[in-house]
Amino acid sequence: MAKKIAIKIKLEGPEGYFYTAKKNPRTHTEKIKRRKYNPKTRKHEEFVEKKIK
pTM: 0.81
Q: What is the pLDDT of residue 52?
A: 87
Answer whether 14's CB lies under 8 Å from 45's CB.
yes
Q: Rg of the chain over CA atoms, in angstroms?
A: 13
Where on the phi/psi map is residue 40: left (φ > 0), alpha (ψ -120 to 50), or beta?
alpha
| 53 band by pLDDT with thresholds 50, 70 and 90 | confident
Interatomic CA distance for residues 53 and 43, integer angstroms: 26
Residue 51 in this model has a pLDDT that exceeds 80: yes
Q: Are 32 and 23 contacting, i.e. CB atoms less than 8 angstroms apart?
A: yes
Q: Which domains does the chain have, with CATH numbers?
A: 7-50 (2.20.28.120)
